[in-house]
Structure 1
Amino acid sequence: MGIIDAHHHVWDLSVRDQDWITGPQLAPLRRDFPLSDLEPQARAASVDRTILVQTITVPEETPELLALAAESDLVAGVVGWIDLTASDVAEKLGRLRALPGGEWLRGIRHQVQGEPDPWWLTRPEVLRGLRTVADAELVYEVVALPHQLPAAVSAARHLPELTFVLDHLGKPPIVSGQLKPWSAAVRELASQPNTVCKLSGMVTEADWHEWTVDALRPYADTVLDAFGPQRLMFGSDWPVCTLAAGYAEVVDATGVLLAGLSPDEQAAVWTDTAERVYGADRPNQCRIRRVSPRGDASLD
C-alpha cells in the first residue's frame, strides 16, 4: 500500500474564517485550500491515505471534516476538536460519531500552543476530558511548544491508557539551530510508552526561504532515536507547509532523512505506524493503547 500522510488540513474561507491567518507572512495561506487541491499532489507523491486534522477551536468544524471523510477515498481518518473542559465530553463524542462520516473520527486535538498556562494539559478538568477521549478509544494529538512538553509528559504518565500523538516534533527551534532544551523534553516524552510522534511541520520551523535537509536532520535524527521508527509517522502539514515548500518537496525531503533506515523501518514511518495508530484501513477501529519503545503494540 502507499504512503499515509498523517497530518494535513483543509479550509474554505467562505464557510468560516481562519482567524489565525494574520499578517503578511501568512498571507499566502489566506485563500481556500480544498481537498480537491491536495488530492492530485498526494497521488503524485504515492500518498493514498491521509489524516485530516482540525485547524480552529470551534465545534462546527469537526462535523464538516467528518462529512469530507465520508465522501473521500483519500481521507482515512479525522482528528477533530471538542472542548475537553466541558462536563459532557462523552456525549459530544457520541454525537460526532453518529454524524455522516462519524466512523472516521480518530482523535481529538486542542491548540495547547495557544494556551498561556504551560501546564494546561495537567489541569483536573482537562485530564478528565482526556480520560473520556481514551474511553472512546481515540487518540489525543499534542500541538505544543517546547516549554509545554513537560505538561504533556505528566499527562501521558497520568493517563497510560491514552495514546498521545506529538505533532510537528513539538515545534523545535530549527531556524536557530538549537537542540536544547527541546531535545531533552522530547526525549522525556518519548520515554512514555503511550506516545507517538509525527515527522511533520519541520520546514515551517526552519528558515522558510533557505531551509535545507541538512538543517532538518538533527531534529529528525533526535526523534528517530527517541521514539524509533515504529512510533514515528510522516505528515505533510499541508497547506501550512506551502509557506516554505511544496507538497512534493516535503515528501522528498522526508525520503532523504529516512534514507539510512532499513526498508522495514522506512515502511513504519511512511505507513505502518499511522495505520496502526489511526486504524487507517478500517472505520471506527482506532484501538491502539500502548506502543513499547521496541514498537510492540497492545490492542484492545
Structure 2
Amino acid sequence: MTVDAHHHVWDLSVRDQDWIEAGSPIRRDFTIADLEPQARAAGVDRTVLVQTVTVAEETPEFLALAAAHELIAGVVGWTDLTRPDVTDELARLRDLPGGGYLKGIRHQVQGEPDPGWLLRPDVQRGLAAVAETGLAHDLVVLPHQLPACTKAAAALPQLTFVLDHLGKPPIASGGLEPWASDVRALAALPNTVCKLSGLLTQADPASWSVNDLRPYADTVLDAFGPDRLMFGSDWPVSTLAAPYGDVVAVTSALVSPSEHRQIFESTALRVYDL
C-alpha cells in the first residue's frame, strides 16, 4: 500500500480560496475525480485530505467526501482551537456522517502575526482537547515559527504534532540555517512527525532539480528518521511545479529503498490511525 498523507480539494463555486492569487494555474476547481486516476496511476492507494481554509463548514464536507470515496482514508480538518467548547465541537465533528475519518486538526498558523500563537493559553487548551479526542495536530508554519512549535510540543507530550512541508524551508534560496537547527530541535521530541511534502513548490517551481531538494530531505531524514516521516503530495498546489506522478517519483528518489515503506505507508497508517 502507498499512502499520500497530504492533499487538498476545492470547489470555487462553493467558496473562494482567497489565498490563491488571481491568474494562478491552480485558481480553478480540483476534485477527487481529478485526483483519483492520477493517484492510481502513481500507485497511491489511500490519501489524507487536508483543510485549506479556516471555515467551519469545510470539515463536515471533507468528512462526507471521505465516506463517499474509497481513496480517502482520513481527514485533517479545522476547528477554532480557541473556542470555549472546543471539546464538544470535536465530539460533534466525530459524530457527523463520515466523522470516523477525522484524524487530525490543522490551523493556518503560518498566517498568524504572533510567532508565539501556539503558546497562547487558549490555544494550548484547544490543543489539549485535540489530544484528548485522540487526534493529531498538523503544523503549517513558516521557519521563524518553528521554535514555538518545539515549545508547544514539549508542553503537550500527549499530543502528536505533524510538521507539514518540513516547515517550509527556503529551498529556492538554498539556505539551511537556522531552519535546520530549529527542525532538529523539534525532531528531538518523540511526539513529533514530519511530512516529506511541499518540497517542489518551496524550490524554484520553474527550475528545481532533485539536487536542490536533497539537503532538506536529508536533514529531516536524519532528524526524524523514516519511522517519523511520511510522504505527502500537496496536490494540487504541487501542480505548480510538476504533475502528480512526478511528485511521487521525485520523493521516492530522495529516500532509500529500505526507508520507502515507512515513509510511503507505515508512518501515515500509525500516526493517523488509518
* Letter in structure 1 aligned against 2:218: D
Q: Distance in 2 between matches of 1:91 and 1:31?
A: 35
Encode CA deviations 1:199-220: one digit per residue, 9 max, x unaligned: 0000000001000000000000
- 1:277 paired with 2:271, answer yes
- Please give the residue correspondences for 1:44-63 in structure 2 after superposition, counting only pairs within 5 Å: 44-63=41-60
Counterpart of 2:207 in structure 1 is 210
Counterpart of 2:137 in structure 1 is 140
Corresponding residue to 1:84 among 81, 84, 89 = 81
Residue 266 of structure 1 deviates from its aligned partner by 1.4
Q: Match of 2:169, SS?
A: coil
Residue 279 of structure 1 deviates from its aligned partner by 1.2
Q: Distance in 2 between matches of 1:149 and 1:32?
A: 32
- 1:201 paired with 2:195, answer no
- 1:4 paired with 2:16, answer no
Scaled by the length of structure 1, what TM-score is found?
0.90
Residue 82 of structure 1 deviates from its aligned partner by 0.3
Residue 257 of structure 1 deviates from its aligned partner by 0.6
* Letter in structure 1 aligned against 2:13: S
Counterpart of 2:14 in structure 1 is 15
Corresponding residue to 1:93 among 83, 90, 93 = 90
Identity %: 66
* Letter in structure 1 aligned against 2:78: W
Q: Distance in 2 between matches of 1:240 and 1:267?
A: 24
Q: Distance in 2 between matches of 1:273 and 1:254?
A: 15
Residue 63 of structure 1 deviates from its aligned partner by 0.2
- 1:170 paired with 2:167, answer yes
Encode CA deviations 1:242-289: one digit per residue, 9 max, x unaligned: 01111011011011111xx243x2110010000100111xxxxxxxxx
- Please give the residue correspondences for 1:259-298 in structure 2 after superposition, counting only pairs within 5 Å: 261-263=256-258, 265-280=259-274
* Letter in structure 2 aligned against 1:249: D
Corresponding residue to 1:234 among 217, 231, 236 = 231
* Letter in structure 1 aligned against 2:269: E
* Letter in structure 2 aligned against 1:95: R
Counterpart of 1:37 in structure 2 is 34
Counterpart of 2:220 in structure 1 is 223
Alignment: residue pair count: 274
Moved over 6 A (4+): none
Residue 23 of structure 1 deviates from its aligned partner by 3.8
Encode CA deviations 1:131-156: one digit per residue, 9 max, x unaligned: 00000000000000000010000000
* Letter in structure 2 aligned against 1:18: Q
Q: Distance in 1 between matches of 2:106 and 2:180?
A: 23
- Please give the residue correspondences for 1:97-112 in structure 2 after superposition, counting only pairs within 5 Å: 97-112=94-109
Q: Distance in 2 between matches of 1:172 and 1:227?
A: 16
Residue 22 of structure 1 deviates from its aligned partner by 1.8
* Letter in structure 2 aligned against 1:276: R
Quote the RMSD (CA, aligned, Å). 0.7
Q: Distance in 1 between matches of 2:149 and 2:22?
A: 30
Counterpart of 1:291 in structure 2 is none
Q: Distance in 1 between matches of 2:253 and 2:257?
A: 13
* Letter in structure 2 aligned against 1:117: D
Residue 98 of structure 1 deviates from its aligned partner by 1.1
Corresponding residue to 2:146 among 149, 171, 186 = 149
Q: Distance in 2 between matches of 1:4 and 1:145?
A: 25
Q: Match of 1:178, SS?
A: coil
Q: Distance in 2 between matches of 1:30 and 1:210?
A: 22
Mind listing any 5+ residue stretches in structure 1 that lack a counterpart?
A: 281-300
Q: Distance in 2 between matches of 1:155 and 1:23?
A: 35
Counterpart of 1:297 in structure 2 is none
Counterpart of 1:125 in structure 2 is 122
Q: Residue 239 and residue 171 in structure 1: after superposition, are their counterparts in 2 closer, same or farther (change >3 A)?
A: same
Q: Distance in 2 between matches of 1:100 and 1:138?
A: 17
* Letter in structure 1 aligned against 2:72: V
* Letter in structure 1 aligned against 2:6: H
* Letter in structure 2 aligned against 1:16: R
Residue 95 of structure 1 deviates from its aligned partner by 0.9
Counterpart of 2:187 in structure 1 is 190
